[in-house]
Amino acid sequence: MKPSIMHTVELLLLSKDNIPLSTDMTDFMVDYAGGCQNNCGDKGVCHHGYCVCYDGFAGVSCGIDESQYPTKALLDAALKAENFKAGGGFVTYSKSLMEHERLENAYVSQLKLGANAESLAASDASIKAKHEKVVAALNTFAIANEAKMKSLADAQKASANALHRKRDRITTTIQQMREESKRLKTHNQEMYLETVRALHEGQKQMQNDLDMKRRSHFVDMAKRHDEWVEIKERNDFKLSQLRTANGPLVNIDDLEERVCTQDDMFRTECHQVDSTKSFSTSPGYNSAGTAKSIGSCTKAEEGSYPTKAGSKRGVSCVCSVKTCPKIETGIDTCCGSNGCKTTNVGSAAEPAYETDVCVKVEINGEMQKNLYDDIPR
């Protein structure tokens, strides 16, 4: 506590229930620890009970004049005689304060311990009474609760038995529904397979009808082509006859053509040239209009008509594009030996597979050497 100022202490008298019974107050001051002798001889300042000497003076009460001691050894001897050490007053003051604080804390702790002891004594009696009351209440509650628990256990057991019986009924019902579901699944599977078989059969029938119509179409095209070949042969003969005709009708062996030439002096010279060889004398072609054989060909053979060199009259190779279902991708029954090629249809994610279907049709026909003998020359 700070010295030289007024302090106040208040004492309270309390009952065991902490009810204030009386109070008292007193004032006091704390003196300096230690003290200054002779008020430091007016050669220093008394500070917290020890002297702080002016320059040139030393000692406990600043009574030693340093100028009177010519050597440091004599000065140290005089200070030692007074039992003076530098900073000794501050040390003494600090020790006094710590001792005072220790005693004060010990006193406060003793008061608190006494109060706590009285409070604990009062609390022990109250706790004991409350404990006995709680024990009695717990015993009563335990007896009543045991009877109630037995009643609840009996009711729970009866309810559990009823639930077990209900669970058995539900389990049996679920098993029956599973069996019924399996039967329905098998029936639906059979219906699905029957539908698939019907769809495949219908697809097969439609494909067969399409193939028959395609075959009939190719045969008709081959017949028309053969007729066109016959007409072309006759027209070629007539055109050749017109090209080589030069006046009155004469025998083929006597046909001549007038050829004129001109030199660099613009002199013209004409002479007759035999034109027998340039006249078309090949035999004519007669189409029977019936299919002799139907087979297959390749895309490279398409359009090999008799007008081309080395081609055979009465033979026609026609190709068309066939789209294969994606479930038959790469299967020979769809793409055959030509193989499948992919093509995107619209924005479909799955490509369509196509192949070229080529049919070779041979038509009955014959070459007749005297077929055009009735045409005038």
Model confidence over 51-82: pLDDT tens digits?
888 888 888 888 888 888 888 888 888 888 88
pLDDT, position 373: 62
Q: Which residue has the tokens 């055959």?
A: 336
Residues 299, 305, 310, 314: what is their CA dihedral angle, to the nearest 10 degrees? Answer: 110
Select the more confidently predicted residue: 177 or 284: 177
Q: d(Cα 99, Cα 93) in Å, to the nearest integer?
A: 10
Select the more confidently predicted residue: 352 or 120: 120
Max avg pLDDT among 14-23, 75-84, 180-189, 198-207: 180-189
Tokens, residue 218: 């190719």
349 pLDDT more than 50: no
180 pLDDT more than 70: yes
Q: d(Cα 365, Cα 285) in Å, to the nearest integer?
A: 7
pLDDT, position 310: 43
Tokens, residue 87: 């900073």
Q: d(Cα 348, Cα 220) in Å, to the nearest integer?
A: 36
29 pLDDT more than 80: no
pLDDT, position 4: 65
Question: In angstroms, how far is CA 114 from the centroid of its own chain?
Answer: 74
Structure confidence at residue 308 as a pLDDT band (50, 70, 90): very low
Question: Do 252 and 228 form a contact (C-beta atoms < 8 A)?
Answer: no
Nearest to 357 by CA among 316, 317, 312: 317
Break the chain into its structural domains and give their ranges.
6-130
Structure confidence at residue 274 as a pLDDT band (50, 70, 90): confident
Q: d(Cα 48, Cα 32) in Å, to the nearest integer?
A: 6
Model confidence over 209-234: pLDDT tens digits?
988 888 888 888 888 888 888 888 77
Nearest to 244 by CA among 272, 273, 278: 278
Structure confidence at residue 149 as a pLDDT band (50, 70, 90): very high
24 pLDDT more than 60: yes
Tokens, residue 351: 């490509």
Q: Where are the beta strands (DSSP E) in the chain?
A: 6-14, 20-29, 44-47, 50-53, 57-58, 64-65, 256-262, 268-274, 284-296, 315-324, 341-343, 352-368
Nearest to 45 by CA among 75, 55, 95: 55
Model confidence over 103-119: pLDDT tens digits?
889 988 998 888 888 88
pLDDT, position 33: 53
